[in-house]
């Protein structure tokens, strides 16, 4: 199935879902959630994005993120979050 491009509109909130690989569990312990939220705080500030809400489930995440003027930054945020979380779990 081909990937569909996400349409990013500056200054509007966007609902984003990110799932674990094959919908596997991503968050097992409290420290898993804390690590993710620490990274979310760090990278949203780095990219200048607003996070309006989040819901961390055991195997996926829902975020409502306000886009800035650079349409690539939401994707960059999600890439950083997934990469750090993957390294954390694998370690």
Q: Each residue's pLDDT tens digit in the chain (91 positions)? A: 566 667 888 889 999 999 888 888 889 999 999 999 999 999 999 999 999 999 999 999 999 999 998 889 999 999 999 888 778 777 7
Q: Looking at residue 17, what is its pLDDT?
A: 93
* CA–CA gap between residue 81 and residue 59 (Å, rounded): 14
Quick one: fold of 13-90? Alpha-Beta Plaits (3.30.70)
For residues 84 and 46, the answer to whether their CB atoms sit within 8 Å is no
In whole angstroms, how large is the CA radius of gyration of the chain? 13
Q: Do the beta carbons of residue 88 and residue 35 sit within 8 Å?
A: yes
What pTM does this model have?
Answer: 0.86
Return the pLDDT at 2: 62
Domain residue spans in the chain?
A: 13-90
The distance from CA 5 to its chain's CA centroid, rounded to whole angstroms, is 17
Q: Which residues contact 39 (CB under 8 A, 6 or more apart)?
A: 80, 81, 84, 85
């Amino acid at each position: 199935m081909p990937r569909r491009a996400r349409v990013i509109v500056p200054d509007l909130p966007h609902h984003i879902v990110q799932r674990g690989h094959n919908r596997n569990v991503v968050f097992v312990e409290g420290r898993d959630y804390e690590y993710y939220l620490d990274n979310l705080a760090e990278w949203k500030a780095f990219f200048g994005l607003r996070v309006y809400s989040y819901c961390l489930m055991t195997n996926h995440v829902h975020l409502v993120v306000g886009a800035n003027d650079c349409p690539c930054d939401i994707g960059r945020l999600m890439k950083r979050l997934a990469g750090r979380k993957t390294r954390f779990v694998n370690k």
